[in-house]
Structure 1
Amino acid sequence: MSERESMPYDVVIVGAGPAGLSAAIRLKQRAEQAGAELSVCVLEKGSEVGAHILSGAVIDPRALDELIPDWRDSDCPLAETPVTQNHHWVLTAKRKFNLPHLWTPPFLHNKGTYTGSLGNLCRWLAGRAEALGVEIFPGFAAAEILFHEDGRVKGVATGDMGVARDGTHKPDWQPGLELHAKYTFFAEGVRGHLTKELIRTFDLAADSDPQVYGLGVKELWDIDPAKHVPGKVIHTQGWPLGDDANGGGWIYHQANGQVSIGFVTWLGYTNPYLSPFQEMQKWKTHPAIAELLAGGKRVSYGARAINDGGLQSIPKLVFPGGALIGCSAGFLNVPRIKGTHGAQKSAMMAADAAFEAIQAGREGDELSAYPAAFETSWLKKELSVVRNVVPLVKKFGDFMGSGLSGITMWLEHFGLKMPFTLHHHPDNETLWRKDLVKPPVYPKADGVLTFDRLSSVFLSNTNHEEDQPVHLTLRDPSIPIEHNLPLYDEPAQRYCPAGVYEVVGVEEGDPKFVINAQNCVHCKTCDIKDPTQNINWVVPEGGGGPNYPNM
């Protein structure tokens, strides 16, 4: 008999990001409107709501307008900084060129959008959810999917607390808690470890392309007030990335004299010596960016993978007993660099489907009304317009690919739908052998403009209980040294933005692969980019990881 206690709910939601919280709010709104009772629980692995949330962020409020129409007239922190200017820079090593505004499709103009901290928006949404009666449990990581005997999802179980690194129980050991539900929503964000299991178990990706990803590395800076323009938004493309990689940067002037800056490197790059963290540091040395940051101070750091696959990589959204919502499914609009509105809209559609099913007395079936609603939604239409952008850029390179993408977006904007959809290939299959490439040259950290990874992780407030099982597991411990090191010089040393992975003892002729799991910022890059998919990210003890205050 299980030692775990269980708690029943109508709906259990895994993840208190914009999708999970929007689903919870929508469910309670529908229940209130119908005069019905509905119990909703949200589990959050971070120490508090928002602790693990990282985004640029420029947010399209379209879905928020549907969910909470009066949000602008409330205390919502997003309302502080509407976007006032929109710029697109094409960078060379020393110069920048402003792309004319009229060349870009209208939905890239950021009209009516807002910039600010997505973590703070989630904290505000959590308050609205709790006011409606949603139960939110931060610091409780969903570690296991529970199934009925007939294979339907029954709910989830949280991880045990107080387990030592060797698997034994410490004196403060407590078993996890089982949460049973009529429907369970998975809103874990990009590359959720339970979502991966669901996709395998129910073959949800059978009819979709593989998901592809980018890694966003972000810093928050206090800058000289004379240089700060609230609401000014800049995106960059080009330098420092070469022909073997794609991505771009952002600079968002937000509230309180701060700028959010960051750089996204698409994880389909080919050079095993490329470091997304170092690309971001190098990008800051561009004269236009260095001048903006001169005299400023870096106050926060973080990193997170994002979905780049778009429409063709969205898996089947439902399975018996639950649904995938938000970035667990992958609703990011890549050229807009916006996913919050898509995450919220998907959550609302899933919530409507679950509420109707529960009201009709159904339990644990497939919520077919959710994917049906997506098919006719503005969200699918938006993603359809941009579906070929990422494949075109990857196929034809940054400049020609961007030009072709712009043409297709303009044509689709005018109703001329492209008669084709290009496809994706997995990011872990793209690396070339180390003997076929030259390592990039990166600037040495100066501690003023550019930094090393360990000092950066310090600013993320990352903390894990050291005496716990390592949550970065290897399916075959021999692969890093026997396979990855001779072929790729073990790329985990460079693609990780937190210094988790090291190879030591090479000069002594006795190389060993070291995992510094306590540094992990939960970006999921290792789970995505490892060439043989040998690294499997699983959830650590609840409350562990970064503690982002304003990201």
Structure 2
Amino acid sequence: MEREFMEFDVVIVGAGPSGLAAACQIKKQAAEAEQEISVCVVEKGSEVGAHILSGAVFEPRALDELFPDWKEMGAPLNTEVKRDDIYMLTSADKSTKLPDALVPKTMHNHGNYIISLGNLCRWLAEQAEGLGVEVYPGFAAQEALIDENGVVRGILTGDLGVDREGNPKDGFYTPGMELRAKYTLFAEGCRGHIGKQLIKRYNLDSEADAQHYGIGIKEIWDIDPAKHEQGLVVHTAGWPLDIVGTENTGGSFLYHIENNQVVVGLIIDLSYSNPHLSPFDEFQRYKHHPVIKQYLEGGKRVAYGARAICKGGINSLPKMVFPGGALIGCDLGTLNFAKIKGSHTAMKSGMLAGQAVVEALKAGREGGDELTGYVDNFKSSWLYDELFAARNFGPAIHKFGPLFGGAFNYIDQNWFGGKIPVTLHDTKPDYACLKKASEATKIDYPKPDGVLSFDKLSSVFMSNTNHEEDQPIHLTLKDPSIPLEKNLPLYDEPAQRYCPAGVYEVVTQDDGEKRFQINAQNCVHCKTCDIKDPAQNINWIAPEGTGGPNYPNM
């Protein structure tokens, strides 16, 4: 059928830090050059920030460049880091606090801020709209518009009012709209579903190492004011994950923000090998460690969420551009794992792409070409230098474990400034790292106590997640037989455990037969299933606009 369309100079997919920074950069730079450039940002969340989740300790370097007077403009950076405490958790009740001198300098946070990234994105959206950007929340980009010459010409938003079988609902159906553009920037965040398609179509990762991921699970707590120390940053490595080994690695954070609140979270590398491991349950028992319990005891959990992160770094970056568009932010994979930070790098990548767009349009180019200026801008920027210096951080942990990998990273970062004359590579994809269930140790997780630890369903409830019940399931199986016929006997179907929202279940029916059940309504859009499924059989696509979590300040 004939679809309605709108035309812009630039369409940006995703109102996260990279997409909004790109939009602001384009409009500011165009205004200085007295150019007219129309910019549209589409966001699948019900509002800007609804799907944003990050730690987050924020380095303001890119924000300083984009809005030098951000303090006077009221940017929500309210809590400056006052102190870093870093612990190695050696068992369920023991720990060693690391002296500053033994910590990689990239993990020191002097001059940084503890923030809600969702609230920063809301503020950035206000600035973008003030500059003339059109921001459309509640519209999910479903696919890229690609012409007969293989050029990206914009995006198609998803249809609204479609039932589970894909049929239009009477009186509720609205077909998706074509948003056409000279240049389209994809800023969907980690494992963007269109970005993934573009990487495959244009073979963008042919010269890159495998991308690597972690799953971050986070809660916000109101705590006893007597235990609160605004500006305190606590990081841990080790228990409940590996200290010396390399099979199940990760780390945690606990940040004291304003209003007697802390944010607490666990990041587990999705290269873990034990199919019996449950990231959600590891997080629940982690909160019982004395280092963490001392702050949470007597407090109240007020929010929950989860999100995958790209952590492969510069070695895993795909080609950044293709005819008619570019990947930016975590759709590209710009997180600096050595700093455990990706917001400032995402913003900078968006700004660099924005500069290239303005330069291309100013030169009279009508789109359809590759934004080679973006690649040139990146290679001559501090973003490239920062990611290059961090290139060994993740591979060292994967190869040598937290203890010995941490020692390597200390030497690399503190002695050589990230310029040690060797580059480590980690080319094994995360989904290929699982052992067979028969070869792995089963894990007996304690039951949640309802005080410090909780179950999945009550947690999902706190994420304000909702999807229209009668809509096509956005978690699709390429082969519906694989979960029970392959994954269950080989890996005890790990989707039951790696999903932090209880989406996947193996249900035994009355007749004794097993059924693989997908509770798509629970999905918090973390993308872990799309990444970790050992058969690469699960494909996450965007559901109807506004579906998913509604995070108030994550």
Which TM-score band applies after superposition, normalised by the shorter structure? over 0.9
Alpha-carbon separation, structure 1, partners of 2:423 and 2:181: 41
Alpha-carbon separation, structure 2, partners of 1:105 and 1:529: 29
Alpha-carbon separation, structure 2, partners of 1:274 and 1:405: 27
Give the structure 2 partner of residue 403 of structure 1. Answer: 407
Tell me the secondary structure at the aligned position of residue 148 of structure 2: coil
Give the structure 2 partner of residue 493 of structure 1. Answer: 496
- Determine whether 1:274 maps to 2:272: no
Give the structure 1 partner of residue 205 of structure 2. Answer: 205
Give the structure 1 partner of residue 239 of structure 2. Answer: 239
The structural deviation recorded for 1:541 is 0.1
Aligned pairs for 1:504-523 within 5 A: 504-505=507-508, 508-523=511-526
Identify if the C-alpha distance between structure 1 residues 383 and 507 changes in structure 2 by more than 3 Å, giving closer, same or farther: farther
Alpha-carbon separation, structure 2, partners of 1:367 and 1:147: 16
Aligned pairs for 1:178-193 within 5 A: 178-193=178-193
Residues 52 and 551, structure 2, Cα contact 8 Å, conserved in 1: yes
Letter in 2 for 1:495: Y
Give the structure 2 partner of residue 230 of structure 1. Answer: 230
Give the structure 1 partner of residue 21 of structure 2. Answer: 22
Identify if the C-alpha distance between structure 1 residues 422 and 412 changes in structure 2 by more than 3 Å, giving closer, same or farther: farther
The structural deviation recorded for 1:508 is 5.0
Alpha-carbon separation, structure 2, partners of 1:491 and 1:499: 12
Give the structure 2 partner of residue 444 of structure 1. Answer: 447
Q: Which of these residues, 529, 533, 537, is aligned with residue 536 of structure 2?
A: 533
- Determine whether 1:472 maps to 2:475: yes
Q: List gaps (5 residues or longer) in structure 1.
A: none
Letter in 1 for 2:478: R
CA offsets per residue over residues 242-265 of structure 1, 9 Å max, x none? Answer: 332000100000111110100000
CA offsets per residue over residues 352-390 of structure 1, 9 Å max, x none? Answer: 001110111112210101111111211111111121121
Give the structure 2 partner of residue 299 of structure 1. Answer: 302
Q: Which of these residues, 274, 283, 294, is aligned with residue 286 of structure 2?
A: 283
The structural deviation recorded for 1:236 is 0.4
Alpha-carbon separation, structure 2, partners of 1:459 and 1:418: 47
Give the structure 2 partner of residue 138 of structure 1. Answer: 137
Residues 464 and 549, structure 2, Cα contact 8 Å, conserved in 1: yes
- Determine whether 1:338 maps to 2:355: no
Alpha-carbon separation, structure 1, partners of 2:252 and 2:338: 12
RMSD between aligned residues:
1.1
Greater alpha carbon shift after TM alignment, 217-226 vs 141-150:
141-150
The structural deviation recorded for 1:425 is 1.3
Tell me the secondary structure at the aligned position of residue 464 of structure 1: coil
The structural deviation recorded for 1:426 is 0.4
Aligned pairs for 1:339-354 within 5 A: 339-354=342-357
The structural deviation recorded for 1:412 is 2.8
Residues 385 and 412, structure 1, Cα contact 8 Å, conserved in 2: no
CA offsets per residue over residues 477-519 of structure 1, 9 Å max, x none? Answer: 0000000000001000000000000001178531110000000
Letter in 2 for 1:87: D
Letter in 2 for 1:185: L
Residues 106 and 338, structure 2, Cα contact 8 Å, conserved in 1: no
Give the structure 2 partner of residue 150 of structure 1. Answer: 149
Residues 473 and 536, structure 1, Cα contact 8 Å, conserved in 2: yes
Tell me the secondary structure at the aligned position of residue 425 of structure 2: coil
Alpha-carbon separation, structure 2, partners of 1:353 and 1:40: 14
Residues 116 and 255, structure 1, Cα contact 8 Å, conserved in 2: no
Greater alpha carbon shift after TM alignment, 374-383 vs 256-265:
374-383
CA offsets per residue over residues 153-212 of structure 1, 9 Å max, x none? Answer: 000010000000011110210000100000000000000000011001111001101111
TM-score by length of 1: 0.98
- Determine whether 1:90 maps to 2:93: no
Aligned pairs for 1:288-437 within 5 A: 288-362=291-365, 363-413=367-417, 416-437=419-440
Alpha-carbon separation, structure 2, partners of 1:81 and 1:73: 15
Tell me the secondary structure at the aligned position of residue 198 of structure 2: helix
The structural deviation recorded for 1:419 is 3.0
Give the structure 2 partner of residue 125 of structure 1. Answer: 124
Residues 58 and 341, structure 2, Cα contact 8 Å, conserved in 1: yes
CA offsets per residue over residues 10-32 of structure 1, 9 Å max, x none? Answer: 00000000000000000000111
Give the structure 2 partner of residue 60 of structure 1. Answer: 59
Alpha-carbon separation, structure 2, partners of 1:508 and 1:388: 53
Give the structure 2 partner of residue 216 of structure 1. Answer: 216
The structural deviation recorded for 1:107 is 3.0
Aligned pairs for 1:2-21 within 5 A: 2-21=1-20
Alpha-carbon separation, structure 2, partners of 1:62 and 1:508: 61
Residues 208 and 315, structure 2, Cα contact 8 Å, conserved in 1: yes
Alpha-carbon separation, structure 2, partners of 1:149 and 1:391: 40
Greater alpha carbon shift after TM alignment, 87-96 vs 477-486:
87-96
The structural deviation recorded for 1:420 is 2.8
Letter in 2 for 1:472: L
Residues 90 and 237, structure 1, Cα contact 8 Å, conserved in 2: yes
Tell me the secondary structure at the aligned position of residue 265 of structure 2: strand
Give the structure 2 partner of residue 453 of structure 1. Answer: 456
List structure 1 segments (4+ residues) > 3 angstroms apart after TM superposition: 506-509
Tell me the secondary structure at the aligned position of residue 272 of structure 2: coil
Aligned pairs for 1:96-111 within 5 A: 96-111=95-110
Q: List gaps (5 residues or longer) in structure 2.
A: none
Alpha-carbon separation, structure 1, partners of 2:419 and 2:12: 39
Residues 105 and 413, structure 2, Cα contact 8 Å, conserved in 1: no
The structural deviation recorded for 1:538 is 0.5
Letter in 1 for 2:96: F
CA offsets per residue over residues 210-259 of structure 1, 9 Å max, x none? Answer: 11100000000000011111111010000001332000100000111110
Alpha-carbon separation, structure 2, partners of 1:107 and 1:436: 37
Alpha-carbon separation, structure 2, partners of 1:177 and 1:266: 38
Letter in 1 for 2:4: E
Give the structure 2 partner of residue 81 of structure 1. Answer: 79
- Determine whether 1:550 maps to 2:549: no
Tell me the secondary structure at the aligned position of residue 214 of structure 1: strand
Identify if the C-alpha distance between structure 1 residues 416 and 472 changes in structure 2 by more than 3 Å, giving closer, same or farther: closer
